[in-house]
Chain A
Amino acid sequence: MKKLLLILFSLMFSISASAETLRILAEAGDEATLTRAAAQFEEANPGVTVEASYLGWDDFMATIKLKLSDNNPPDLAHGNQGFTVDGTLIQNGLVIPLDAYADKYGWKKSFADGSLAEFSWSEDGSTWGSGTLYGISPVAEDVIVYYNKSKLDALGLSVPKNFAEFEKALAASKNAGELPIMLGGADGWPIIHVWGLIEGAFVDPEQTRSWIFDAKGNEYATSSRRQAADKLEEMVKAGYFGNDSLGIGYDDANAMFIDGEGVFNLTGTWMTAQLNEGMGDNVGAFAMPRSTGGVAGGGSFALPWHISSKSANPDLAAKFIAHLMSTDFVDDLMEVGRVPAQAPTIDPTSNLQAEVIAASNKLVGSNAKTFYTDWATPGMYDTVTQELQKLLGGAATASEFIDAMAAESKN
């Protein structure tokens, strides 16, 4: 009997010694990516079990701070750039700095200087945009212009090379009885992406990024930003978004675009796989050309990975991030339809993906990604969505929009 107990005991001991569990909490958009990564990671690291759970965007963002302040939090979790989530997590010491791991695994070498600014914070979490690295992501997300190829061909137009040409294309679409831009404005946030592209066309990307990192300390109502707001108002009045955009949800708008409604669709590269599946070779993509040449647009890395400060095994969590960041995994990201932040070695899996990656490279190459307006302050998401809806619905003017945004910047 004693022997049996001894065997049982040693068996238990050996299991607990070699078996390690890595618990991950992720936003649901990453499920395909993580399923692949977890299987590869378990195979490469015998005895390690990856337990990933997922929550949809709204639920995830509403609960992530509570989940990480729990006594038994996940080892590895997504955050979200900005003061609302990442800033709060760092201020409360819930996630650890990743600098040492970044050096060990060479993450910083993969990217241009300053391009990880969106993950960098002061150690007390009070200032953002430089300092200690707290998160990282292998995926790039860019806001670009998707277009219906046969419609653009039928209008006798080619891909616009500057913003004036883009406007001409909108006018030509409208004159031909087409809906120039398909927009799901009922959800509010898709308009942020449209605004990011118009803003990018007129405002120096560096100026927009500085404002997002420190909204209080930077002027919002600059002349170039007023010019961008005036342009958006002009586009609304010209009917380029149709009459119903505020009554259409984001998913419906994309479904309608796939069904052949609308010449342009201004959205993020996360839609690439779905648009490709729905439209095949009839959909193309380009980075928004600026009014003064070059390109610009909203966009950033995807949601950052954070390691919990209460994780029993932060090294293992970092090793998993390193797997996601590895050059080997870049091609896997391509295969699940994401846009990798590092250069892939395999050919694009579709014509659209090739165009999307070209657009993304242009944006990264000219350091022209301007993040998302709603990162600027905790109340900015509400303000910018409401004010853009007003602008789109004719319930506010461009200068009222700028005033409301400038006021929120000081909050």
Chain B
Amino acid sequence: MNPPRPRNSLKHSNYLFLLPAFLFYLIFVLYPLSDTIYTSFTQWSGIGEKTWVGLENYKNNLSDKKITSSIKHSFILIIFYSFFPIIIGLGIAGMMVRIKVKGMAIYRAILFLPQILSMVVVGIAWRWIYAPKGPLNSGLDFFGLTEVSRAWLGSFDYALPFVGLIGTWVMFGFTMILFIAGVQKIPSELYDAAKVDGAGAFAEFFNVTLPGLKGEIIVALVFTVTLALRNFDLIYITTGGGPGTSTMIPSMFIYKKAFQMNQVGSASSLGVMLTLLIFTLISLIIITLREKR
């Protein structure tokens, strides 16, 4: 009979199962991350030697008005990428509780569709919709609103909100599916109790549905806020940051600095700053909203 294995060695050997995944994580996440952090303290053209410059890149970023205003744009985009989709998603989920629609699966699939499309496809499609002679303007002209129609993405006033609306369209399918799934796990007794207490649709929504979806709302916020801040492809395809700098966001600067301006060190520092910003915001969201135990 074999002697029983000491528990400790069993525990250690368990970690071996993590090794393959950890190696991948090390090579594809931790190494590039630490290399980016190192590069962010240097001046580097992308090839050749890196020159150590300390915190200079960070100082320059913070004093660059174009960059600070691009962060402002990101926060405006959070409204469109995060708040609007969550409100629409909650609205649909709340209605679903009260109204049973035939063929709901089909509607759900259609509303979720934007979420599975490539952002490049979405960007090109909306660029066409917003074009000076695109469907949106044709529609406005048809109703006699020729005064209103314009080159939406070429307008210094409207480009940012109109790019934001594309984000709303893409993201609300995700929040909707999340909330509909969440609603189904809320015990039906709570709804019955609310009915007995004479709660109307709104009271029911605010007292039963909304508190029951707290976990899902946190998940939705984390995902959508992250996307709003690190979003690149949609802006790159639709406006390229223009006109002027009116839709410029930090990730566009990272791309431009690294690939157009030979400033990989500066691009890295902006990348690190953006990561820290996202990390801080997400932590704040989770800490403020999570269940108190």
Contacts and interface: CB of A to CB of B under 8 A. Distances in A.
A35 interface: no
Given A65-B47, A186-B151, 4 more contacts: A247-B132, A247-B152, A379-B261, A390-B156
Interface in B114-135: 127, 130-132
A307 B47 CA distance: 17
Contacts of B152: 247
B182 interface: no
Contacts of B130: 247
Chain A contact patch, size range: 35 or more
Chain B contact patch, size range: 20 to 34
Contact of B48 (A91, A185, A378): A91
* Nearest 7 Cβ contacts at the A-B interface: A247-B151, A246-B154, A247-B154, A244-B132, A244-B151, A62-B259, A389-B243
A385 B127 CA distance: 19
Main secondary structure of the interface of A (DSSP, over half): helix
A382 B256 contact: yes
A185 B151 CA distance: 11
Nearest to A58: B259
Contacts of B240: 186-188
Contacts of A390: 156, 243-244
Contacts, number: 97
A92 interface: yes
A246 B243 contact: yes
Interface string B204-242: 000000000000000000000000000000000001111
Contacts of A69: 47
A332 B241 CA distance: 40
Interface in B121-175: 127, 130-132, 150-156
Contacts of A245: 151, 154
A385 B47 CA distance: 26
B46 interface: yes
B150 A247 contact: yes
Contacts of A5: none
Contacts of B36: none
Nearest to B132: A244
Nearest to B128: A252
A375 interface: no
B245 interface: yes
Nearest to A387: B244
